[in-house]
A and B are shown apart, each in its own frame.
Chain A
């Protein structure tokens, strides 16, 4: 199964999860996602998701100056984002349980 397609539906919650405990800048968040096993995540998808979540009011943003590179735009989760993450966790837990059950029950096909 193409995991890229699955990833599209859960990228919001994945991004929220990796910055739940520590703020991060765009490329750093891409790296965290890849380190978490989502190796096929695209830069543009993450940057786009960050912008969308920020516009939706789920993230705060601030710029940190850098001496040896471009200024970095950090994103941090706020109250709205934390609520959103909690809801999506529930949804995911429910959805994944249903899917797991479905796939387990259907193992072997109809009798």
Chain B
């Protein structure tokens, strides 16, 4: 994964998101050790402080926990927690954007729903 330096999303958020994706893909598992901020800095070619911020976000959201002197680990049940937040938060946000754009383009509600169904069928 290459970071998008020009994205609206700050780099440290992209790091947090990437770690969450690793958890969702079961590449990082419950009670497994997570990359250190220095490893992340090397991997993504970013300042260690930026990588550290990405980790702190997950720490605050109880996705990761800290063992003194040993590093950070994945919380039991982190995966379902991430899925729940993404469903309620991320998906809602995306839908909001779609609805807004549809209004701007004068697409009716029925047309929009049809469009979503069409895309789903393409699958």
A is bound by B: no
Interface residues of A (CB under 8 A from B): none
B-to-A contact residues, CB < 8 Å: none
